[in-house]
Structure 1
Amino acid sequence: MKTNLDYETLHVTLEGMVATIELNRPKSLNAMNISLLRELLICLKEVKKDDSIKVLILKGKGGAFSSGGDIKEMLAMASEQQFHSVMDIISDIAVTLYTMPKVTVAGIHGASAGLGFSVALACDYIISEEDSKLAMNFIGIGLIPDGGGHFFMEQRLGAAKAKQLIWSGKVIGGQEALMKGLVDEVVASGKLDQAIEKYKMICLNSPLQAMIKTKQILTENHQSTLEKMLEMEKEGQWIMRTTKDHKEGVQAFIQKRKPNFIGE
């Protein structure tokens, strides 16, 4: 298992049966650029194959969990081949995290938006600070969720409610996310680390092999659906990138104004 010295965009620590991965691009609110995505996938695969690790904790350094995909790099991807190669990495992250034979915990503070929210939702147990800002907000730039966002939202909310929240792109706080079932625990601002430590100790004092076996049974029953939806997200996202509404959404984002969508 690699240490944090081997990564530029992650900080990784190992303590007994627990691995902690911290997204480490704090100046960009841990926006997921290509380097971070590649390193995260490598790290997750390292954790997955290490049988000594039973609990994985995923966090963000600085002021946020993750503000989502790096829009500047997204705009620079001109070719379909380059776009699909990045989407394949994103899809592999979702499947690797979802099928991880460990108990996975996401600790959210600050923003968890777009792809950053999809990644958090791939975890088994999500703890959020009450003043966090969570959003599946791809719609704001005329795109659809990726990273398994459709699958994970549907699993937690059901199809009808998932669709409404995706369509609205609404930003919600920790308490509302708990009420909707999008997160599993909410704590006061600044109390995230203590809550993670408490849940970690609950896991370490539980029959972890039985917990992980239950996870594997449920996961294997739905893995093919996740993989199918990831492929649909990849194809759909490329189509959305060609729309007038996406181009308007990006321009509005850059110019910090409200977009004028026309449905084309």
Structure 2
Amino acid sequence: MAMNFVSDKVNVKIEGRVATVEMNRPESMNAMDIDVIKGLIYKLKEISESDDIDIVVLTGKGRAFSAGGDIKTMLSNMNESDFLPLMDYISELIITLYSIPKLTISAVSGAAAGLGFSLALATDYIIADKASKLAMNFIGIGLIPDGGGHFFLEKRLGETKAKQVIWDGKMMSAEEAYQLGLVQELAEEDLHETLHIRITDWLGRPVQAMIKTKKILAEKNRPQLLKILELEKYGQQKMRETLDHKEGIKAFIEKRKPNFIGK
């Protein structure tokens, strides 16, 4: 997919060997619309080609990492013909982030939910603010995880526990996610300070050896991730046709509990 795209919804700051990529839709808790997704792909591909950058930090501006896909624009009013291309962009973003030949850290504050959580899980290491909340909460609107959510949860938790997390779809505290092994480090006090300590530690190590290990494992797992992304794409398309999904969206917009009927 050719990319020539500039978005003010994604900011990049480079300091020495570290690039910070920031989702910039604070007014919507960094909900990911098509511009955010394309912007992230474009910026990550640029960074990928730089020999001067070893670490990429992914974060969100304001009070959240990312509340997930932009439900109102992406799910309720979208033409069907736009849906599969959107899913292809999501797949490209996840593969790009997972395979990038840099060490990647998600710095999570506030919410990391739905696609936002899948995005964080695609990085090598998640540092979460103690007060943050994480959820694979697609089930609440009658959908399945996308953005490789099935792949990342199964890799980290095993199949049985992954299914429980997906089916429950509950909002987890940072501590709960840490205990499960979905988060690698908790920021007891200040997220930026914890992040700085982690980056300083990594920069003092033989980073190229760390990146080589990452590349070997990413290369091994890439076919499976691509397969899962494809299954999620067509599975999500099916779920969008269900009555439960339509009810889930209606309930979300009306701010009420959905009444699911299993169809």
Match of 1:217 in 2: 216
Q: 1-side partners of 2:50 and 2:158: how far apart? A: 34
Q: Check if 1:252 corresponds to 2:242.
A: no
Deviation at 1:7, TM superposition (A): 3.3
The DSSP-based 3-state class of the residue aligned with 2:73 is: helix
Corresponding residue of 1:241: 240
Task: In structure 1, give the amino acid aligned to 2:79.
Answer: A
d(CA) in 2 for partners of 1:50 and 1:85? 28
Task: Tell whether 2:135 aligns with 1:135.
Answer: yes
Compute the displacement of 1:31 (Å).
0.4
Which residue does 1:3 correspond to in 2? none
Q: How does 1:121-200 map to 2 (within 5 A)?
A: 121-188=121-188, 191-200=190-199
Q: Give the aligned partner of residue 231 of structure 1.
A: 230
Gap regions ≥5 residues in structure 2: 1-5
Q: CA deviation at 1:72?
A: 1.4
Structure 2 Cα separation of the partners of residues 125 and 188 of structure 1:
16
Q: How does 1:70-89 map onto structure 2 within 5 Å?
A: 70-74=70-74, 75-79=76-80, 81-89=81-89
- Please give the per-residue CA displacement for 1:119-148, whole angstroms capped at 9, x wherever unaligned: 000000100011111000000000000100
TM-score, reference length from structure 2: 0.96
Match of 1:97 in 2: 97
Question: Which residue number corresponds to residue 13 of structure 1?
Answer: 13
Measured in 2, the distance between the counterparts of 1:249 and 1:47 equals 38
Q: Secondary structure at the match of 2:52?
A: coil
% same residue:
54
Shift of 1:94: 0.5
Q: Does 1:69 align with 2:45?
A: no
1:27-66 → structure 2 map (5 Å cutoff): 27-66=27-66
Which residue in the other structure is 2:3 paired with?
A: none
Equivalent residue pairs, number: 257
C-alpha distance in 2 between matches for 1:214 and 1:245: 43
Quote the Cα distance in structure 1 between the aligned partners of 2:109 and 2:162.
Answer: 22
Residue 188 (structure 1) shift? 2.7
Counterpart residue identity of residue 156, structure 1: R
Greater than 3 Å deviation, 4+ residue runs: none
8 Å CA contact 2:107, 2:191 repeated in 1? yes
1:187, CA displacement in angstroms? 1.4
Task: Output one character per residue of 1:193-219: Cα deviation in whole Å (capped at 9) or x when no partner.
Answer: 111111111111000010000111111
Deviation at 1:43, TM superposition (A): 0.7
Cross-structure match for 1:206: 205
Deviation string for 1:218-256 (max 9, x for gaps)?
111111000000000000000000000000001111111
For 2:116, the equivalent position in structure 1 comes to 116
Note the alpha carbon deviations across 1:14-64, whole angstroms, 9 max, x for none: 111110001110010000011111111111111111121110000111000
CA contact 2:7–2:35 (8 Å) conserved in 1: no
Q: What is the alpha-carbon distance in structure 2 between the residues aligned to residue 86 and residue 51 of structure 1?
A: 30
Unaligned runs of 5+ in 1: 1-5
Structure 1 CA distance for aligned equivalents of residues 180 and 33 of structure 2: 30
Q: State the distance in 2 between where 1:23 and 1:188 align.
A: 23
Superposition RMSD on alpha carbons, in Å?
0.9
Using the TM superposition, give the Cα deviation of residue 10 of structure 1 relative to its aligned residue in structure 2, in angstroms. 1.3
Q: Separation in 1 of the partners of 2:60 and 2:179?
A: 23
SS in structure 1 of the partner of residue 235 of structure 2: helix
